[in-house]
């Protein structure tokens, strides 16, 4: 018996390769991960290992392959860590694994993983740069605010801003506008009015008919948002009037998820692997009231450009989670739109629960004038959870509600006159406490 090493992208590929090289009776001794790949240690007969066709031995660098059969040497496939090191250190890209490239079944998935890893690395690098900028702005704002006295009643709100992760620039503006208020309620109301007035935009979301495309970063809930829109339209117009198209989404299990969602709604779903197939589907479905196109998060700009070239009148919707970072918001609402030469028709917000503080999105909307109008939102993973006609005022109320801790009244420092007047603080009865708590409770029921 002779022990041999086999390196492949995953366990399935390594097993298939072992069977193809040494037959179906090959004995697998060990299986573990090495350098981002799966390594199999197999036991083979000596005749198989050193037969007429001499095989490459990765453990023996002095072995010479025969001219009749040459096994390519193994290079580690480029993974996320490799790309991150390349981006941060400026190294040249690593070579891909020729064994994987030789397998036509894995070429497409390998290329997609490499593109995805490069996009993640670029996103991480931008996030690090944004954190450095935010740190510098916070230092400058702290020096300026140190000379600006803040009323005792406003201090819990300022502390809540730091805990909620309000960006330094927006936090400085809000603190400067409320630093002289006498009560927490007045300060919160001033924040609401300031943000609401800054976010006023013209225009209303149009009707959901025709061809609509849903785009956004990976993990933002695009497929589920599209399914909610399909359910909303099917309930009003009928299931035979709505169609769902999954466009170039090669993720494992993505098509199965789409089929399950469409089966629950009762609508037809289709899969387009390229632009020509999408064109044929749109021609075939031209009589439908609503056609929804779900796009992947990988290569978002390329997919948007292809859809617009196939159907220029397609209505484009951006989907962002409520807790999206400033980099994510910038990449989708501004950079992607500029690269694809389009204007977003609307913005949809997902994952809009009470534990989310959409401050990065609010800051971007305050700074930019061409932000798309809000059209829909969802607060959970339920298929029926869809808020149509979602407004900026509701988004502001959700954000401001995070600035009012449940114990904020107890954190307010009393003035010196109050201490001198009541050396022994009176015990607050239950009725008074409930009345004050109710008056200061955040407006979370507006959603």
Higher-confidence residue of 67 and 108: namely: 108
CATH of domain 2-74: 3.30.70
- Asked if residues 31 and 39 have their Cβ atoms less than 8 Å apart, the reply is yes
Q: Average pLDDT, stretch 419-436?
A: 41
Q: Average pLDDT, stretch 60-65?
A: 41
pLDDT at residue 77 above 70? no
What CA–CA distance (Å, rounded) separates 39 from 32?
5
pTM of the entire predicted model: 0.66
79-83, 94-98, 222-226: which has the highest mean pLDDT?
Answer: 222-226
pLDDT at residue 85 above 90? no
Q: In which residue ranges of the chain is CATH 3.30.70 found?
A: 2-74
Angle at CA 9, nearest 5°, toward 61 and 74? 20
pLDDT at 201: 63
Higher-confidence residue of 166 and 70: namely: 166
24-28, 145-149, 228-232: which has the highest mean pLDDT?
Answer: 228-232
DSSP state of 428: P
Q: In which residue ranges of the chain is CATH 3.40.50.300 found?
A: 210-401
Length of the chain: 447
pLDDT at residue 53 above 60? no
pLDDT at 318: 95
**Cross-strand bridge partners of residue 321:** 350
Q: What is the tens place of the pLDDT at every residue in 240-297?
A: 999 999 999 888 788 999 999 999 999 999 999 999 999 999 999 999 999 999 999 8
In the chain the first and final C-alpha atoms are separated, in Å, by: 69
Element (H or E) spanning 44, and its range? strand 37-44
Q: Which of 54, 57, 52, 53 is closest to 42 using CA atoms? A: 57
The class that CATH gives domain 210-401 is alpha beta
Q: What is the tens place of the pLDDT at every residue in 130-170?
A: 888 888 877 777 766 666 778 888 888 888 888 888 888 88
Q: What is the tens place of the pLDDT at every residue in 168-186?
A: 888 888 888 888 888 888 8
């Amino acid at each position: 018996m002779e022990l041999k090493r086999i390196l492949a992208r995953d366990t399935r590929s390594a097993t298939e390769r072992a069977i193809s090289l040494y037959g179906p009776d090959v004995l697998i001794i060990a299986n573990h991960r090495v350098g981002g790949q799966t390594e199999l240690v197999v036991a083979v007969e000596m005749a198989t290992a050193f037969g007429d066709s001499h095989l490459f031995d990765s453990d023996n660098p002095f072995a010479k392959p025969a001219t009749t059969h040459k096994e390519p040497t193994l290079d580690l496939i480029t993974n996320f860590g490799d790309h991150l090191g390349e981006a941060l250190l400026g190294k040249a890209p690593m070579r891909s694994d020729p064994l994987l490239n030789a397998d036509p079944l894995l070429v497409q998935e390998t290329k997609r993983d490499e593109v995805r890893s490069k996009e993640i690395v670029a996103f991480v690098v931008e996030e690090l740069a944004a954190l450095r900028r935010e740190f510098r702005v916070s230092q400058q704002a702290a020096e300026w605010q140190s000379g600006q006295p803040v009323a005792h009643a406003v201090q819990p709100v300022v502390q809540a801003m730091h805990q909620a992760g309000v960006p330094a620039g927006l936090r400085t503006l809000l603190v400067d506008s409320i630093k002289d208020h006498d009560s927490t309620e007045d300060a919160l109301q001033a924040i609401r009015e300031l943000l609401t007035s800054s976010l006023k935009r013209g225009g209303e979301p149009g009707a959901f008919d025709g061809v609509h495309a849903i785009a956004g970063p990976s993990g933002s809930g695009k497929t589920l948002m599209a399914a909610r829109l399909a359910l909303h339209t099917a309930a009003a117009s009928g299931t035979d009037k709505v169609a769902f198209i999954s466009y170039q989404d090669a993720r494992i299990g993505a098509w199965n998820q789409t089929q399950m969602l469409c089966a629950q709604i009762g609508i037809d779903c289709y899969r387009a692997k390229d632009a020509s197939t999408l064109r044929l589907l749109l021609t075939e479905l031209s009589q439908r009231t609503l056609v929804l196109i779900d796009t992947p998060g990988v290569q978002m700009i390329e997919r948007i450009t292809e859809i617009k070239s196939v159907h220029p009148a397609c209505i484009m919707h951006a989907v962002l989670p409520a807790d999206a970072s400033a980099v994510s918001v910038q990449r989708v609402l501004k950079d992607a739109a500029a690269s694809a030469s389009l204007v977003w028709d609307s913005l949809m917000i997902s994952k809009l629960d009470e534990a989310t503080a959409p401050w990065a999105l609010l800051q971007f909307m305050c700074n930019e004038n061409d932000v798309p109008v809000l059209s829909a939102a969802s607060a959970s993973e339920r298929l029926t959870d869809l808020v149509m006609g979602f407004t900026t005022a509701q988004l502001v109320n959700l954000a401001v509600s995070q600035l009012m801790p449940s114990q904020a009244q107890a954190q307010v420092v009393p003035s010196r006159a109050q201490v001198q007047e009541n050396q022994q603080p009176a015990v607050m009865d239950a009725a008074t406490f409930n009345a004050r708590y109710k008056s200061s409770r955040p407006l979370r029921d507006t959603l």
